[in-house]
Amino acid sequence: MKLFNRIGIVGLGLIGGSLGMAIRKNAVGSEIVGVTRKKRTLDAALKLGAIDCGSLDFKILSNCDLIILATPVKTIIELLGQIKPYIKRGAVISDVGSTKFEIVKAAQRTLPKGIDFIGSHPLAGSEKRGIDNATAELFNDSLCILTPAKVNIQANTRKLKLFWKKVGAKVKILEPKTHDRIIAATSHLPHLAAFGLIGSLPESYLGYAGSGLRDTTRIASSDPLLWTEIFLTNRQAILKSIKAFQKQICEFSILIRKKDGRRLFTRIRNIKSKRDKLV
């Protein structure tokens, strides 16, 4: 028996397209419908088997049991009002946004009673983008964080948790603000650091880059619009993470300036030990 009968995906880029392919591969839904802004994307999603049918119109979402909003954060917030007329009572709505508090707050303000919005954040992806890079294996062994609210029906939260497990992810549950604080440090700050590192280099130096720079800054090739919206919708938590990072850089600067090799070695050794615990 399928977990959901009719599943709708709004946004058929890397995440939305991969999700559709993973749903089909793992037999999670009976029918997958998709909505996107461009006919070319729709045609590609159909060709890849990411959806059974699709449209440029939200009407296709009628009678969906589960709708996933797979777009940049600010667009997710805007979509809540746009899809509202087509959501059937009892449906579960979720998303794939990298920030959660603003989205959950907007959903509670916008959606009527009888519609359960449960935030999701699959920590899977690539610096590449678009339906052409979609793959059914994208979520395998990844982590997906759910951010249910007190008003959510527990049975729906359990069902959504099982949904993400079936497409390959491990699932953890956090309160929306806690999610945003943690992810600001573990995901948003690394992207910001990669952008900053590349931004600090003269372009003439790039021809001399080794694997260290390439590995450290791979994520600086990520979607500019996506990350602009993430930074602005999780502003306070990111600013706190930036402050902590600046403190670390400042302390390294002091030790190097003082030529304090003993403390510099100890500091690097302790940080290496901490990094080695990362699973």
Determine the Cα–Cα distance for residues 85 and 123; give it in Å rounded to an integer: 30
* CATH code, domain with 200: 1.10.3660.10
Determine the Cα–Cα distance for residues 126 and 266; give it in Å rounded to an integer: 34
**Is 159 in the same domain as 201?**
no
**Is 73 in the same domain as 141?**
yes
Residue 126 confidence class, pLDDT cut points 50, 70, 90: confident
pLDDT value of residue 143? 96
Could you tell me which of 74, 121, 105, 110 has the C-alpha nearest to residue 231? Answer: 74
Query: Which of 143, 174, 205 lies at the terminal end of a domain, its last residue?
Result: 174
pLDDT value of residue 2? 82
**Is 203 in the same domain as 222?**
yes
Query: What confidence tens digit (pLDDT) does each residue in 46-86 have?
Result: 999 999 999 999 999 999 999 999 999 999 999 999 999 99
**Is 104 in the same domain as 134?**
yes
**Is 70 in the same domain as 134?**
yes
Residue 31 has pLDDT above 80, yes or no: yes
Q: How many domains does the chain have?
A: 2
Taking residues 174-185, what's their average pLDDT?
97
**Is 162 in the same domain as 228?**
no
Determine the Cα–Cα distance for residues 8 and 40; give it in Å rounded to an integer: 18
Bridging pattern class, strands 143-147 and 119-123: antiparallel
**Is 156 in the same domain as 235?**
no
**170-173, strands of its sheet edge to edge:** 119-123, 143-147, 170-173
- Token pair, residue 104, equals 């959950």
192: amino acid identity, one letter: L
pLDDT value of residue 100? 96
**Is 109 in the same domain as 209?**
no
**Is 116 in the same domain as 213?**
no
Work out the mean pLDDT of the chain and round it to a whole number. 95
Residue 187 has pLDDT above 80, yes or no: yes
- Token pair, residue 227, equals 């990350």
Cα angle for residues 104, 110, 111 (degrees, 5° grid): 90
pLDDT value of residue 231? 95
Q: 60 is in which domain, residue-wise?
A: 4-174
pTM greater than the 0.85 cutoff: yes
pLDDT value of residue 1? 66
pLDDT value of residue 220? 94
Residues in contact with 212: Cβ distance below 8 Å, sequence separation at least 6, in sequence order? none
Residue 128 has pLDDT above 80, yes or no: no
**Is 65 in the same domain as 149?**
yes
**Is 193 in the same domain as 158?**
no
Q: How far is CA 276 from the centre of its chain?
A: 25
pLDDT value of residue 95? 97
Residue 227 has pLDDT above 80, yes or no: yes
* CATH code, domain with 82: 3.40.50.720
Query: Which of 136, 152, 174 lies at the terminal end of a domain, its last residue?
Result: 174
**What Cα–Cα distance (Å) separates residue 141 from each residue in 68, 93, 150, 170, 173?**
20, 23, 28, 6, 16
**Is 149 in the same domain as 49?**
yes
In the chain, DSSP assigns E strands to: 4-10, 29-35, 53-55, 66-69, 92-95, 116-117, 119-123, 143-147, 170-173
Query: Which of 157, 174, 191 lies at the terminal end of a domain, its last residue?
Result: 174
Taking residues 162-169, what's their average pLDDT?
97
pLDDT value of residue 168? 95
pLDDT value of residue 41? 94
Taking residues 7-36, what's their average pLDDT?
96
